[in-house]
Amino acid sequence: MGLIILVIGILIGLLIERYIFQEKPIGSLRVDNSDPDSGPYLFLELDPGGANEIYKKQRVSLRVEIKNYISHK
């Protein structure tokens, strides 16, 4: 019985840790695939204060946004 409670406590602790200590994204990585003759274009857009975070950390999180800017019509 004690082992089951211990395992449940560990699982709850892991779930809480994932949400509390989750890294917040510091900006967006925009991917533009509108030109079929070349590879995708990548644009880095940092949120206000995002540049300071790059210098403080070894790893950062970004939101990925796929958007084609050039119309093919």
Mean of the per-residue pLDDT values of the chain: 85
In a domain, 48, yes or no: yes
Please name which of 3, 73, 69 lies closest in space to residue 34, comparing C-alpha atoms.
69
Residue 33 lies in a domain: yes
pLDDT at 6: 94
Tell me if 17 is assigned to some domain.
no
Residue ranges of E strands in 1-73? 25-32, 41-46, 61-66
Predicted structure pTM score: 0.58
Residue 73 lies in a domain: no
pLDDT value at position 59? 83
Q: What burial letters (b/e) apply to 8-21, b meaning 16+ CB within 10 Å?
A: eeeeeeeeeeeeee
Domain interval for residue 45: 24-68
Structural domains counted in the chain: 1
Mean pLDDT of 20-36: 84
CB 25 within 8 A of CB 63: yes
Domain assignment present for residue 13? The answer is: no
pLDDT tens by residue, 34-66: 777 788 889 999 989 888 888 888 888 889 988
64 within a domain of the structure (yes/no): yes
In a domain, 52, yes or no: yes
